[in-house]
Amino acid sequence: MTDATGRTKARETETDPERVSTTTPSGIEVPEVVTAVMTGRPDLEDPGQYPFTRGIFANGYRGRLWTFRQYSGFGSGEETNERYRFLLERGQTGLSVALDLPTQCGYDPDDPIARAEVGKVGVSLSNLAEMEILFDGIDLGGISTSFTINGTAAIIYAMYLATADKKGVARDKLTGTIQNDILKEYVARGTWIFPVRPSMRLIADTVLYSNDETPRFNPISIAGAHVRDAGVTATDEIAYTLANGLAYVDELTRRGGDVNRFAQRLSFFFYVHMDFFEEVCKFRAARRIWAKLLKERYGVTDEKALMFRFGVVCGGSSLTAAQPYNNIVRVGIENMAAVLGGAQSIFTCAYDEAFQIPTETSAEIALRTQQIVAHESGIARTVDPLGGSYYVEWLTDRMEEQIMRVIGEIEAMGGAVRAIEEGRIQLMTAKAAHRRKRAQDRGETVVVGVNAFRNPGEDQDFGEVFRLDPALSRRVIEKLQAVKDRRDGKAVSKSLEKLEKAAARDSENLLPYLIECCHAYVTVGEMVVTLKKQWGEFEEPIRL
């Protein structure tokens, strides 16, 4: 039962190599053949036409390929800057900043709770000086930058604007995205800080400010990726995400936002896992549902505001630590599904990403995968090449029905905000994770190298392992101390005082105050402590 290292060994289940599953992971029973009659869609609208089943652009990827956006970041500004230059030299077309957990949760690196995590899963960005190092030599007006940041999204966005200000880049030139989707953090990703209601306010502040100041920037990326990776099905991934999307639309409308305007800047983010046609069809269904919801419920008239734009990540929990090179194949298949589903930006995970920060070699293979799909496979040549396939149209319809049913269930709970405050979506996600794991354990879902097709005596580990410099945490703290020593103490306390007062007034947009703090080299932790004084902290509802 145990291997040489004393760890209990994984067990191989019995897999029938002849068996093909007849049900999709979302539980849709698939007929042996889908015939023309069964599709019932002889007159599907063209790409670029409402409700955009076949894509939001009439010319697909001919106008512009998707953005190759590899999520990366580790250590501090210097290390990550070096990795960005490495990726850009090799043809990456957008940046995607991974931040470490202290930055995401609002703790400075010198906070005792942060020590073990500084620079581990992303770059440590505690203040403007660190971000200036991060983007040193990179033209912020010439490249789009995405930040996977939520609890502290408003602060990191403010810091990005302050960085652009200091570099002399006009704000209206900035393109990119902040994830800024707190609702799914309460469910799956866990980097919440404040209670739900003030968090929703902060998001609305960011979106409304961005619409005016950085009109080409996406101030929110409503994400299903994390609940998906946590264990829910493709249809639930879309349903939970669109339900959250509706909650943001409601909040922004309540705050006086014009849905025809702000909806143009709402973007989405999903995982692509391995069930190829489900993955393609979920995006076709999601585009159609979102356009219909905005038009029918909110009376949106501007076509651009009805367009469902999304980025994806390929890999995640579909990757395995066992037989890790298999992950290259998985990501290749997922990458194709993302393109056939019409993604605007794609991140392909590295084959070792299931267990570590990718090495330069594995990061390069992940990027090359996208380049091979884009430039060798020919699938981007014409828009929605799968459109009109009997199976694809049939499955898109079935998934649409299932997604709408789940959105209805969430609305019956009082909407996404209430369902999350009560811990109901969290419980549904945990149960789904339990079901998925049990199905894998029983061999009902085959995972090659894990529960099937294992080699005798196979080692679950691999060669080259990326290691962070163990002295990193100390170095980051020293850099932070140096910034604190040389900044203007009066400007720090004055800007924090103004922030605190503004936070107490619900009607005030906090962004100008956060930007002022960033310019004064106030740290993320200092801003968060100030806001916590006003708003308190989220208390996790624990239901199992």
Closer to other proteins at the Cβ: 8 or 455?
Answer: 8
What order of strands is seen across the sheet that includes strand 266-272? 217-218, 176-178, 144-147, 94-97, 67-72, 345-348, 309-314, 266-272, 220-223
Tokens standing for 33? 């053949």
**Nearest CB to other proteins, comparing residues 190 and 415:** 190
Helix (H, G, I), strand (E, B) or coil at 431: helix
Tell me phi and psi for residue 178, to 5 degrees.
-110, 140
Q: Among residues 485 and 539, whose Cβ is nearest to other proteins?
A: 539
CB of 195 to other proteins, least distance (A): 15
Min CB(73)–other proteins separation in Å: 14
Residue 352 CB, shortest distance to other proteins, in Å, is: 10
Q: Residue 542 Cβ, how far from other proteins at the closest point, in Å? A: 5
Shortest Å distance, C-beta 287 to other proteins: 28
Please state, in angstroms and rounded to a whole number, the distance separating the CA atoms of residues 387 and 353: 33
Q: How far is the CB of 317 from other proteins (least distance, A)?
A: 8
Smallest gap, in angstroms, from Cβ of residue 353 to other proteins? 10
Neighbouring C-beta atoms of residue 261, cutoff 10 Å: 16
Nearest alpha carbon to residue 227 among 213, 208, 212, 242: 242
Q: CA-to-CA distance for 501 and 15, rounded, in angstroms?
A: 63
DSSP class per residue in 337-358: HHHHHT-SEEEEPPTTTTTSPP
**Euclidean distance between CA atoms 257 and 266, whole angstroms:** 13
Per CB under 8 A, residues contacting other proteins are: 1, 5-11, 13, 101-102, 104-105, 107, 112-117, 120-121, 185, 188-191, 230-231, 317, 320-322, 354-357, 429-431, 433-434, 437-438, 440-441, 450-451, 459-461, 465, 468, 540, 542, 544
Identify whether the C-beta of residue 128 lies closer than 8 Å to the C-beta of residue 155: no
* Residue 102 vs 341, nearer CB to other proteins: 102
Q: Which is nearer to other proteins, 370 or 426 (CB)?
A: 426
- The one-character DSSP state at 65 is P
Whole-Å CA distances, 317 to 351, 355, 357, 394, 447? 11, 10, 15, 27, 11
Nearer to other proteins, 92 or 233 (CB): 233
Nearer Cβ to other proteins (104/241): 104
Least Å distance, CB 112 to other proteins, is: 8
By beta-carbon proximity to other proteins, the closer residue of 442 and 505 is 442
Give the three-state DSSP class for 40: coil
